[in-house]
Protein backbone atom coordinates (compact mmCIF):
# COMPACT_ATOMS: atom_id res chain seq x y z
CA UNK A 1 0.00 0.00 0.00
CA UNK A 2 1.08 3.53 -0.67
CA UNK A 3 1.53 5.99 2.16
CA UNK A 4 0.35 9.60 1.74
CA UNK A 5 1.16 12.66 3.81
CA UNK A 6 -1.43 15.42 3.69
CA UNK A 7 -1.75 18.94 5.04
CA UNK A 8 -5.20 19.85 6.25
CA UNK A 9 -7.00 23.04 7.20
CA UNK A 10 -10.20 22.94 9.21
CA UNK A 11 -12.68 25.16 10.93
CA UNK A 12 -13.23 23.11 14.09
CA UNK A 13 -16.31 25.07 15.23
CA UNK A 14 -18.86 22.35 14.64
CA UNK A 15 -16.69 19.27 15.13
CA UNK A 16 -16.09 17.12 18.17
CA UNK A 17 -12.38 17.32 17.57
CA UNK A 18 -10.09 15.28 15.37
CA UNK A 19 -10.31 11.83 16.89
CA UNK A 20 -12.91 9.23 16.02
CA UNK A 21 -14.76 8.18 19.15
CA UNK A 22 -17.09 5.36 20.06
CA UNK A 23 -20.02 7.36 21.34
CA UNK A 24 -19.46 10.73 19.75
CA UNK A 25 -20.26 11.52 16.17
CA UNK A 26 -18.96 14.25 13.93
CA UNK A 27 -15.20 14.08 14.22
CA UNK A 28 -12.79 15.16 11.52
CA UNK A 29 -11.05 11.79 11.43
CA UNK A 30 -14.40 10.13 10.66
CA UNK A 31 -15.07 12.52 7.79
CA UNK A 32 -11.72 11.64 6.21
CA UNK A 33 -11.99 7.91 6.77
CA UNK A 34 -15.45 7.75 5.30
CA UNK A 35 -14.43 9.58 2.09
CA UNK A 36 -11.11 7.74 1.78
CA UNK A 37 -12.68 4.31 2.34
CA UNK A 38 -15.23 5.06 -0.36
CA UNK A 39 -12.50 6.20 -2.72
CA UNK A 40 -10.31 3.14 -2.14
CA UNK A 41 -13.11 0.59 -1.69
CA UNK A 42 -11.30 -0.70 1.39
CA UNK A 43 -11.16 0.57 4.96
CA UNK A 44 -8.67 3.38 5.36
CA UNK A 45 -7.38 4.67 8.67
CA UNK A 46 -5.93 8.16 8.91
CA UNK A 47 -3.43 9.34 11.55
CA UNK A 48 -2.95 12.96 12.52
CA UNK A 49 0.12 14.57 14.09
CA UNK A 50 -2.01 15.12 17.16
CA UNK A 51 -5.64 15.16 18.19
CA UNK A 52 -7.19 18.55 18.30
CA UNK A 53 -10.06 18.98 20.77
CA UNK A 54 -13.67 19.85 20.03
CA UNK A 55 -13.91 23.34 18.54
CA UNK A 56 -10.17 23.72 17.90
CA UNK A 57 -9.09 24.81 14.41
CA UNK A 58 -6.17 23.87 12.19
CA UNK A 59 -4.30 26.00 9.71
CA UNK A 60 -1.97 23.13 8.82
CA UNK A 61 -2.64 19.82 10.53
CA UNK A 62 -0.56 16.98 9.09
CA UNK A 63 -1.89 13.46 8.69
CA UNK A 64 -1.01 10.26 6.84
CA UNK A 65 -2.94 7.29 5.52
CA UNK A 66 -2.16 4.13 3.59
CA UNK A 67 -4.29 2.94 0.73
CA UNK A 68 -4.50 1.26 -2.62
CA UNK A 69 -5.47 3.56 -5.42
CA UNK A 70 -4.56 4.28 -9.01
CA UNK A 71 -5.20 7.98 -8.54
CA UNK A 72 -2.31 10.44 -8.58
CA UNK A 73 -1.78 12.47 -5.39
CA UNK A 74 -3.31 15.49 -7.13
CA UNK A 75 -6.38 13.41 -8.04
CA UNK A 76 -6.72 12.18 -4.46
CA UNK A 77 -6.58 15.79 -3.24
CA UNK A 78 -9.29 16.78 -5.70
CA UNK A 79 -11.45 13.81 -4.72
CA UNK A 80 -11.12 14.60 -1.01
CA UNK A 81 -11.82 18.30 -1.46
CA UNK A 82 -14.84 17.48 -3.57
CA UNK A 83 -16.41 15.10 -1.04
CA UNK A 84 -15.26 16.61 2.25
CA UNK A 85 -17.43 19.37 3.74
CA UNK A 86 -16.45 22.97 3.07
CA UNK A 87 -15.03 23.47 6.57
CA UNK A 88 -12.31 20.90 5.85
CA UNK A 89 -9.69 21.47 3.15
CA UNK A 90 -6.73 19.42 1.96
CA UNK A 91 -4.05 21.95 1.03
CA UNK A 92 -1.32 19.55 -0.09
CA UNK A 93 -0.62 15.87 -0.54
CA UNK A 94 2.40 13.75 -1.42
CA UNK A 95 3.39 10.12 -1.46
CA UNK A 96 5.93 9.36 1.28
CA UNK A 97 7.99 6.34 2.37
CA UNK A 98 6.04 3.61 4.10
CA UNK A 99 7.75 4.27 7.43
CA UNK A 100 6.44 7.86 7.69
CA UNK A 101 3.93 8.38 10.51
CA UNK A 102 2.53 11.86 11.04
CA UNK A 103 2.43 11.60 14.84
CA UNK A 104 5.40 9.40 15.65
CA UNK A 105 7.76 11.30 13.36
CA UNK A 106 6.64 14.78 14.38
CA UNK A 107 9.46 16.64 16.10
CA UNK A 108 7.40 19.56 17.32
CA UNK A 109 4.15 21.39 16.78
CA UNK A 110 3.14 25.03 17.02
CA UNK A 111 -0.23 26.12 18.32
CA UNK A 112 -1.50 29.68 18.30
CA UNK A 113 -3.98 31.05 20.80
CA UNK A 114 -5.66 34.33 19.85
CA UNK A 115 -7.27 36.63 22.38
CA UNK A 116 -9.23 39.63 21.12
CA UNK A 117 -9.23 42.49 23.59
CA UNK A 118 -11.69 44.51 21.56
CA UNK A 119 -14.70 43.27 19.60
CA UNK A 120 -13.04 41.41 16.73
CA UNK A 121 -13.33 41.74 12.95
CA UNK A 122 -16.66 40.12 12.03
CA UNK A 123 -15.03 37.90 9.42
CA UNK A 124 -12.61 36.25 11.85
CA UNK A 125 -14.70 36.43 15.01
CA UNK A 126 -15.15 32.67 15.25
CA UNK A 127 -11.43 32.03 15.47
CA UNK A 128 -10.57 34.21 18.44
CA UNK A 129 -11.52 34.40 22.10
CA UNK A 130 -13.00 37.78 22.88
CA UNK A 131 -12.49 39.19 26.39
CA UNK A 132 -14.49 42.28 27.14
CA UNK A 133 -12.57 43.53 30.17
CA UNK A 134 -9.74 45.22 28.30
CA UNK A 135 -6.16 44.50 27.31
CA UNK A 136 -3.86 42.89 29.87
CA UNK A 137 -0.21 43.94 30.21
CA UNK A 138 1.39 42.20 27.25
CA UNK A 139 4.94 42.79 28.53
CA UNK A 140 4.00 40.98 31.72
CA UNK A 141 2.58 38.13 29.65
CA UNK A 142 5.86 37.83 27.75
CA UNK A 143 7.83 37.89 30.99
CA UNK A 144 5.82 35.19 32.73
CA UNK A 145 5.70 33.00 29.60
CA UNK A 146 9.45 32.44 29.93
CA UNK A 147 8.89 30.32 33.05
CA UNK A 148 7.26 27.66 30.86
CA UNK A 149 10.24 27.24 28.54
CA UNK A 150 12.27 24.04 28.61
CA UNK A 151 11.51 20.56 29.91
CA UNK A 152 8.96 20.18 32.70
CA UNK A 153 6.30 17.83 33.95
CA UNK A 154 3.21 19.62 32.63
CA UNK A 155 0.63 17.45 34.46
CA UNK A 156 -0.49 20.47 36.52
CA UNK A 157 -1.07 22.39 33.27
CA UNK A 158 -3.29 19.77 31.69
CA UNK A 159 -6.65 18.10 32.06
CA UNK A 160 -4.99 14.69 32.10
CA UNK A 161 -6.30 12.46 34.87
CA UNK A 162 -4.32 9.56 36.27
CA UNK A 163 -1.93 8.22 33.68
CA UNK A 164 1.03 5.89 33.47
CA UNK A 165 2.37 7.75 30.43
CA UNK A 166 4.98 10.44 30.79
CA UNK A 167 3.61 13.94 31.21
CA UNK A 168 7.01 15.52 30.66
CA UNK A 169 7.22 17.78 27.62
CA UNK A 170 9.64 20.34 26.26
CA UNK A 171 8.47 23.80 25.22
CA UNK A 172 10.88 25.25 22.66
CA UNK A 173 9.48 28.71 22.37
CA UNK A 174 6.56 30.92 23.31
CA UNK A 175 6.06 34.04 21.22
CA UNK A 176 3.53 36.66 22.24
CA UNK A 177 2.55 39.48 19.93
CA UNK A 178 -0.07 42.17 20.26
CA UNK A 179 -1.40 44.12 17.35
CA UNK A 180 -4.64 46.03 16.83
CA UNK A 181 -6.51 44.40 19.70
CA UNK A 182 -5.35 40.84 19.03
CA UNK A 183 -2.92 39.04 21.32
CA UNK A 184 -1.39 35.98 19.67
CA UNK A 185 0.35 33.42 21.87
CA UNK A 186 2.38 30.93 19.83
CA UNK A 187 3.64 27.86 21.66
CA UNK A 188 5.97 25.29 20.13
CA UNK A 189 6.64 22.03 21.97
CA UNK A 190 7.64 18.46 21.25
CA UNK A 191 4.18 17.42 22.35
CA UNK A 192 1.14 18.65 24.22
CA UNK A 193 -1.02 17.13 26.94
CA UNK A 194 -4.80 17.36 26.94
CA UNK A 195 -5.82 21.07 27.19
CA UNK A 196 -2.19 22.08 27.80
CA UNK A 197 -2.06 25.03 25.40
CA UNK A 198 -5.36 26.44 26.58
CA UNK A 199 -4.35 26.17 30.26
CA UNK A 200 -0.90 27.68 29.69
CA UNK A 201 -2.45 30.52 27.67
CA UNK A 202 -5.01 31.00 30.45
CA UNK A 203 -2.28 30.99 33.10
CA UNK A 204 -0.22 33.57 31.20
CA UNK A 205 -3.35 35.66 30.82
CA UNK A 206 -4.22 35.40 34.53
CA UNK A 207 -0.61 36.17 35.47
CA UNK A 208 -0.75 39.39 33.46
CA UNK A 209 -3.77 40.38 35.51
CA UNK A 210 -1.82 39.71 38.72
CA UNK A 211 -3.79 36.62 39.71
CA UNK A 212 -0.86 34.20 39.38
CA UNK A 213 2.88 34.80 39.90
CA UNK A 214 5.91 33.20 38.26
CA UNK A 215 6.52 31.49 41.60
CA UNK A 216 3.03 30.00 41.60
CA UNK A 217 3.82 28.48 38.21
CA UNK A 218 7.04 26.92 39.48
CA UNK A 219 5.09 25.50 42.43
CA UNK A 220 2.50 23.97 40.09
CA UNK A 221 5.31 22.23 38.20
CA UNK A 222 6.38 20.46 41.40
CA UNK A 223 2.92 19.98 42.92
CA UNK A 224 1.52 18.70 39.61
CA UNK A 225 -1.96 19.83 40.58
CA UNK A 226 -4.10 21.55 38.00
CA UNK A 227 -6.15 23.51 40.52
CA UNK A 228 -3.56 26.26 40.97
CA UNK A 229 -3.14 27.06 37.31
CA UNK A 230 -5.14 29.58 35.28
CA UNK A 231 -8.40 29.06 33.47
CA UNK A 232 -8.71 26.80 30.46
CA UNK A 233 -9.36 29.31 27.68
CA UNK A 234 -12.14 28.37 25.21
CA UNK A 235 -11.40 26.15 22.21
CA UNK A 236 -12.47 28.70 19.59
CA UNK A 237 -9.28 30.77 20.04
CA UNK A 238 -6.94 27.84 19.40
CA UNK A 239 -5.37 26.86 16.08
CA UNK A 240 -2.77 24.24 15.20
CA UNK A 241 -0.56 26.17 12.83
CA UNK A 242 2.51 24.08 12.05
CA UNK A 243 3.94 20.59 12.46
CA UNK A 244 7.67 20.02 12.10
CA UNK A 245 9.46 16.87 10.93
CA UNK A 246 13.16 16.04 11.11
CA UNK A 247 13.56 14.89 7.56
CA UNK A 248 11.79 16.45 4.63
CA UNK A 249 9.47 13.71 3.47
CA UNK B 1 -29.66 66.78 17.74
CA UNK B 2 -26.15 65.67 16.91
CA UNK B 3 -25.41 63.85 13.68
CA UNK B 4 -22.97 60.92 13.69
CA UNK B 5 -21.25 59.21 10.78
CA UNK B 6 -20.20 55.62 11.42
CA UNK B 7 -18.30 52.94 9.54
CA UNK B 8 -19.70 49.46 9.92
CA UNK B 9 -18.50 45.95 9.17
CA UNK B 10 -20.94 43.06 9.01
CA UNK B 11 -21.15 39.41 8.18
CA UNK B 12 -24.44 39.40 6.29
CA UNK B 13 -24.83 35.61 6.29
CA UNK B 14 -27.76 35.42 8.66
CA UNK B 15 -29.39 38.79 8.00
CA UNK B 16 -32.21 39.77 5.69
CA UNK B 17 -30.13 42.62 4.39
CA UNK B 18 -29.65 46.15 5.67
CA UNK B 19 -33.10 47.64 5.36
CA UNK B 20 -35.82 47.42 7.99
CA UNK B 21 -38.92 45.83 6.47
CA UNK B 22 -42.51 45.52 7.49
CA UNK B 23 -42.89 41.77 7.30
CA UNK B 24 -39.30 40.59 7.54
CA UNK B 25 -37.35 40.41 10.74
CA UNK B 26 -33.65 40.34 11.32
CA UNK B 27 -32.27 43.23 9.35
CA UNK B 28 -29.10 45.13 10.22
CA UNK B 29 -30.87 48.48 10.33
CA UNK B 30 -33.25 47.10 12.98
CA UNK B 31 -30.36 45.90 15.13
CA UNK B 32 -28.82 49.37 15.09
CA UNK B 33 -32.05 51.23 15.69
CA UNK B 34 -33.00 49.05 18.60
CA UNK B 35 -29.64 49.54 20.37
CA UNK B 36 -29.46 53.27 19.53
CA UNK B 37 -33.01 53.96 20.66
CA UNK B 38 -32.30 52.24 23.96
CA UNK B 39 -29.10 54.25 24.38
CA UNK B 40 -30.76 57.59 23.62
CA UNK B 41 -34.15 56.86 25.21
CA UNK B 42 -35.79 58.22 22.08
CA UNK B 43 -36.45 56.68 18.67
CA UNK B 44 -33.40 56.82 16.44
CA UNK B 45 -33.40 56.20 12.72
CA UNK B 46 -30.21 55.18 10.95
CA UNK B 47 -29.46 55.73 7.24
CA UNK B 48 -26.93 53.69 5.28
CA UNK B 49 -25.11 54.70 2.10
CA UNK B 50 -27.07 51.96 0.38
CA UNK B 51 -29.12 48.91 1.20
CA UNK B 52 -27.26 45.66 1.01
CA UNK B 53 -29.36 42.62 0.16
CA UNK B 54 -29.92 39.53 2.28
CA UNK B 55 -26.67 37.64 2.78
CA UNK B 56 -24.43 40.43 1.46
CA UNK B 57 -21.47 41.49 3.63
CA UNK B 58 -19.86 44.83 4.36
CA UNK B 59 -16.25 45.63 5.04
CA UNK B 60 -16.99 49.33 5.40
CA UNK B 61 -20.62 50.36 5.11
CA UNK B 62 -21.20 54.00 6.05
CA UNK B 63 -24.29 55.18 7.90
CA UNK B 64 -25.46 58.20 9.86
CA UNK B 65 -27.97 58.83 12.63
CA UNK B 66 -29.13 61.80 14.67
CA UNK B 67 -29.63 61.58 18.39
CA UNK B 68 -29.41 63.26 21.76
CA UNK B 69 -26.77 61.84 24.01
CA UNK B 70 -24.12 63.02 26.43
CA UNK B 71 -21.79 60.22 25.41
CA UNK B 72 -18.63 60.98 23.47
CA UNK B 73 -18.36 59.39 20.00
CA UNK B 74 -15.89 56.84 21.45
CA UNK B 75 -18.39 55.97 24.18
CA UNK B 76 -21.18 55.54 21.61
CA UNK B 77 -18.95 53.19 19.63
CA UNK B 78 -18.21 51.15 22.73
CA UNK B 79 -21.88 51.01 23.66
CA UNK B 80 -22.89 49.87 20.17
CA UNK B 81 -20.16 47.25 19.96
CA UNK B 82 -21.12 45.95 23.37
CA UNK B 83 -24.81 45.55 22.58
CA UNK B 84 -24.72 44.69 18.87
CA UNK B 85 -24.26 41.02 17.94
CA UNK B 86 -20.75 39.80 17.14
CA UNK B 87 -21.40 39.71 13.40
CA UNK B 88 -21.83 43.51 13.36
CA UNK B 89 -18.98 45.85 14.27
CA UNK B 90 -18.67 49.63 14.38
CA UNK B 91 -15.13 50.41 13.27
CA UNK B 92 -15.23 54.20 13.53
CA UNK B 93 -17.52 57.02 14.50
CA UNK B 94 -17.42 60.81 14.37
CA UNK B 95 -19.73 63.75 14.84
CA UNK B 96 -20.50 65.44 11.51
CA UNK B 97 -22.41 68.56 10.36
CA UNK B 98 -26.18 68.23 10.52
CA UNK B 99 -26.50 68.31 6.73
CA UNK B 100 -24.44 65.11 6.22
CA UNK B 101 -26.47 62.17 4.88
CA UNK B 102 -24.67 58.89 4.21
CA UNK B 103 -26.71 58.03 1.12
CA UNK B 104 -27.48 61.41 -0.41
CA UNK B 105 -23.90 62.65 -0.06
CA UNK B 106 -22.21 59.48 -1.27
CA UNK B 107 -20.36 60.12 -4.53
CA UNK B 108 -19.61 56.49 -5.31
CA UNK B 109 -19.39 53.04 -3.77
CA UNK B 110 -17.17 50.06 -4.41
CA UNK B 111 -18.43 46.51 -4.18
CA UNK B 112 -16.26 43.43 -4.46
CA UNK B 113 -17.50 40.08 -5.75
CA UNK B 114 -15.26 37.09 -4.97
CA UNK B 115 -15.42 33.84 -6.93
CA UNK B 116 -13.40 30.87 -5.69
CA UNK B 117 -12.39 28.56 -8.51
CA UNK B 118 -10.98 25.98 -6.13
CA UNK B 119 -12.31 24.92 -2.73
CA UNK B 120 -11.64 28.01 -0.63
CA UNK B 121 -9.73 28.54 2.60
CA UNK B 122 -11.98 27.20 5.37
CA UNK B 123 -11.73 30.41 7.37
CA UNK B 124 -13.07 32.63 4.59
CA UNK B 125 -15.36 30.15 2.85
CA UNK B 126 -18.55 31.97 3.81
CA UNK B 127 -17.49 35.15 2.03
CA UNK B 128 -16.84 33.76 -1.44
CA UNK B 129 -18.86 32.00 -4.13
CA UNK B 130 -17.30 28.66 -4.94
CA UNK B 131 -17.66 27.34 -8.50
CA UNK B 132 -16.52 23.78 -8.96
CA UNK B 133 -16.15 23.77 -12.73
CA UNK B 134 -12.74 25.39 -12.91
CA UNK B 135 -11.23 28.78 -13.58
CA UNK B 136 -12.67 30.87 -16.43
CA UNK B 137 -10.43 32.92 -18.72
CA UNK B 138 -9.65 35.94 -16.53
CA UNK B 139 -8.24 37.98 -19.44
CA UNK B 140 -11.53 37.53 -21.24
CA UNK B 141 -13.36 38.66 -18.10
CA UNK B 142 -11.25 41.83 -17.98
CA UNK B 143 -11.88 42.50 -21.66
CA UNK B 144 -15.65 42.13 -21.50
CA UNK B 145 -15.88 44.11 -18.25
CA UNK B 146 -14.82 47.23 -20.16
CA UNK B 147 -18.16 47.28 -22.00
CA UNK B 148 -19.88 48.16 -18.72
CA UNK B 149 -17.81 51.28 -18.04
CA UNK B 150 -19.38 54.71 -18.27
CA UNK B 151 -22.97 55.87 -18.13
CA UNK B 152 -25.72 53.47 -19.19
CA UNK B 153 -29.28 52.51 -18.40
CA UNK B 154 -28.64 49.41 -16.27
CA UNK B 155 -32.28 48.28 -16.06
CA UNK B 156 -31.44 45.10 -18.02
CA UNK B 157 -28.72 44.34 -15.48
CA UNK B 158 -30.93 44.60 -12.44
CA UNK B 159 -33.88 42.92 -10.76
CA UNK B 160 -35.78 46.20 -10.71
CA UNK B 161 -39.34 45.83 -11.89
CA UNK B 162 -41.34 48.72 -13.29
CA UNK B 163 -40.09 51.99 -11.88
CA UNK B 164 -40.46 55.69 -12.51
CA UNK B 165 -37.04 56.37 -11.03
CA UNK B 166 -34.00 56.66 -13.24
CA UNK B 167 -32.12 53.44 -13.83
CA UNK B 168 -29.16 55.24 -15.39
CA UNK B 169 -25.92 54.81 -13.46
CA UNK B 170 -22.25 55.49 -14.11
CA UNK B 171 -19.63 52.81 -13.55
CA UNK B 172 -16.27 54.44 -12.89
CA UNK B 173 -14.10 51.36 -12.84
CA UNK B 174 -14.14 47.57 -12.83
CA UNK B 175 -10.98 45.86 -11.60
CA UNK B 176 -10.57 42.13 -11.92
CA UNK B 177 -7.76 40.27 -10.21
CA UNK B 178 -7.03 36.58 -9.93
CA UNK B 179 -4.75 35.12 -7.33
CA UNK B 180 -4.48 31.64 -5.85
CA UNK B 181 -7.90 30.46 -6.96
CA UNK B 182 -9.78 33.65 -6.06
CA UNK B 183 -11.17 36.01 -8.69
CA UNK B 184 -12.05 39.41 -7.25
CA UNK B 185 -14.27 41.71 -9.30
CA UNK B 186 -14.32 45.25 -7.91
CA UNK B 187 -16.97 47.57 -9.28
CA UNK B 188 -17.19 51.26 -8.45
CA UNK B 189 -20.26 53.27 -9.50
CA UNK B 190 -22.19 56.34 -8.46
CA UNK B 191 -25.04 54.04 -7.50
CA UNK B 192 -26.32 50.52 -7.95
CA UNK B 193 -29.71 49.09 -8.84
CA UNK B 194 -31.21 46.07 -7.12
CA UNK B 195 -28.94 43.02 -7.77
CA UNK B 196 -26.87 45.04 -10.27
CA UNK B 197 -23.42 43.98 -9.03
CA UNK B 198 -24.35 40.32 -8.83
CA UNK B 199 -25.86 40.33 -12.34
CA UNK B 200 -22.91 42.22 -13.87
CA UNK B 201 -20.47 39.85 -12.15
CA UNK B 202 -22.52 36.90 -13.40
CA UNK B 203 -22.58 38.33 -16.92
CA UNK B 204 -18.82 38.86 -16.94
CA UNK B 205 -18.41 35.31 -15.65
CA UNK B 206 -20.76 33.88 -18.31
CA UNK B 207 -19.03 35.93 -21.00
CA UNK B 208 -15.67 34.42 -20.05
CA UNK B 209 -17.21 31.00 -20.61
CA UNK B 210 -18.38 32.09 -24.07
CA UNK B 211 -22.07 32.18 -23.19
CA UNK B 212 -22.48 35.93 -23.71
CA UNK B 213 -20.63 38.31 -26.03
CA UNK B 214 -19.74 41.99 -25.71
CA UNK B 215 -22.34 42.63 -28.40
CA UNK B 216 -25.02 40.85 -26.38
CA UNK B 217 -24.25 43.21 -23.50
CA UNK B 218 -24.62 46.27 -25.70
CA UNK B 219 -27.95 44.90 -26.92
CA UNK B 220 -29.16 44.41 -23.33
CA UNK B 221 -28.38 48.06 -22.64
CA UNK B 222 -30.74 49.12 -25.39
CA UNK B 223 -33.36 46.39 -24.92
CA UNK B 224 -33.39 46.93 -21.14
CA UNK B 225 -34.52 43.35 -20.60
CA UNK B 226 -32.92 41.39 -17.83
CA UNK B 227 -33.51 37.98 -19.50
CA UNK B 228 -30.49 38.21 -21.79
CA UNK B 229 -27.95 38.97 -19.07
CA UNK B 230 -25.95 36.46 -17.08
CA UNK B 231 -26.94 34.72 -13.87
CA UNK B 232 -27.38 36.58 -10.61
CA UNK B 233 -24.43 35.29 -8.59
CA UNK B 234 -25.21 34.33 -4.95
CA UNK B 235 -25.17 36.96 -2.20
CA UNK B 236 -22.44 35.29 -0.12
CA UNK B 237 -19.67 36.38 -2.54
CA UNK B 238 -20.58 40.07 -2.36
CA UNK B 239 -19.07 42.68 -0.05
CA UNK B 240 -19.50 46.45 0.11
CA UNK B 241 -15.93 47.60 0.60
CA UNK B 242 -15.82 51.37 0.33
CA UNK B 243 -18.05 54.43 0.18
CA UNK B 244 -16.67 57.71 -1.14
CA UNK B 245 -17.75 61.25 -0.22
CA UNK B 246 -16.85 64.54 -1.88
CA UNK B 247 -15.88 66.41 1.21
CA UNK B 248 -14.09 64.91 4.14
CA UNK B 249 -16.66 65.09 6.90
Instruction: Give mean pLDDT, residues A108-125.
Output: 96
Query: What's the pLDDT at B227?
Result: 84
- Of the candidate ranges A160-169, B30-39, B70-79, the one whose mean pLDDT is the lowest: A160-169
Q: For residue range B3-21, what is the model confidence (pLDDT) as tens digits?
A: 999 999 999 999 999 999 8
Radius of gyration of chain A, Cα coordinates, nearest whole angstrom:
19
Whole-number Å distance between alpha carbons of A135 and A145: 17
Query: What's the pLDDT at A226?
Result: 86
Q: Which is it for the CA torsion B155, B159, B161, B163, positive or negative?
A: negative
The full DSSP string for A33-48 is HHHHHHHHTS---EEE
Assess B119–A contact: CB distance below 8 Å, yes or no: yes
What is the C-alpha end-to-end distance of chain A, expressed in Å? Answer: 17
Fold of A2-96: Alpha-Beta Plaits (3.30.70)
Query: What's the pLDDT at A248?
Result: 65
Query: What's the pLDDT at B246?
Result: 87
H-type alpha helices, chain A: 28-40, 73-83, 138-145, 196-208, 214-223
Fold of B108-244: Alpha-Beta Plaits (3.30.70)
Query: What's the pLDDT at B190?
Result: 96
Assess A11–B contact: CB distance below 8 Å, yes or no: yes
**Average pLDDT of every residue of chain A:** 94
Say whether B11 and A123 touch across the interface (CB within 8 A): yes
> Chain B: residue nearest A10 by CA?
B122
Q: CA of B225: how far to CAs of B37, B156, B166, B177, B217, in Å?
A: 43, 4, 15, 29, 11
Query: What's the pLDDT at B189?
Result: 98
Of residues A248 and A68, more confidently modeled: A68
Domain with CATH 3.30.70.580 in chain A: 2-96
Whole-number Å distance between alpha carbons of A57 and A155: 23
Q: What is the ipTM of this complex?
A: 0.88
Of residues A96 and B224, more confidently modeled: A96
Query: What's the pLDDT at B249?
Result: 61
Q: DSSP label at B232?
A: -
Catalytically annotated residue among B11, B53, B121, B190: B53
**Are the beta carbons of A161 and A202 closer than 8 angstroms?**
no
Assess A130–B contact: CB distance below 8 Å, yes or no: yes
Q: For residue range A30-55, what is the model confidence (pLDDT) as tens digits?
A: 999 999 999 999 999 999 999 999 99
- % residues pLDDT > 90 (chain B): 87
Assess A134–B contact: CB distance below 8 Å, yes or no: no
Say whether B86 and A130 touch across the interface (CB within 8 A): yes
Which of B10, B86, B122 minimises the CB distance to A87? B122
Instruction: Give mean pLDDT, residues B187-212.
Output: 94
Domain with CATH 3.30.70.660 in chain A: 108-244
Assess A164–B contact: CB distance below 8 Å, yes or no: no
Q: Is B121 a known active-site residue?
A: no
Query: What's the pLDDT at B153?
Result: 95
Number of neighbouring beta carbons within 10 Å of residue B64: 21
Radius of gyration of chain B, Cα coordinates, nearest whole angstrom:
19
- To the nearest whole angstrom, how far is the Cα of B19 from the nearest Cα of chain A? 19
**Three-state SS for A176?**
strand
Nearest partner of A11 among A113, A65, A116, A85, judged by Cα: A85
Q: For residue range A157-184, what is the model confidence (pLDDT) as tens digits?
A: 999 888 889 999 999 999 999 999 999 9
**Average pLDDT of every residue of chain B:** 94
> Chain B: residue nearest A9 by CA?
B122
Query: What's the pLDDT at A228?
Result: 83
pLDDT score of B116 more than 80: yes
Predicted model pTM: 0.91
Which DSSP helix (H) or strand (E) runs through A111? strand A106-116
Query: What's the pLDDT at B248?
Result: 65
**Three-state SS for A186?**
strand
Q: For residue range B125-167, what is the model confidence (pLDDT) as tens digits?
A: 999 999 988 778 999 999 999 999 999 999 999 998 888 899 9
Query: What's the pLDDT at B157?
Result: 95
Instruction: Give mean pLDDT, residues A139-152.
Output: 96
Amino acid sequence: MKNYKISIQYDGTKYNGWQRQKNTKNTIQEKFESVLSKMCTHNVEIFASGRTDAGVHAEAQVANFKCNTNKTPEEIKEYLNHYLPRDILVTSIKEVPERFHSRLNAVSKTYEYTIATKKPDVFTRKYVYFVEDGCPDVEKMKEVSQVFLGTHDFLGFSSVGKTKKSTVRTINFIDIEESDGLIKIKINADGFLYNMVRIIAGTIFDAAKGKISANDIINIFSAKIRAGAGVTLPACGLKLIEVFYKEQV
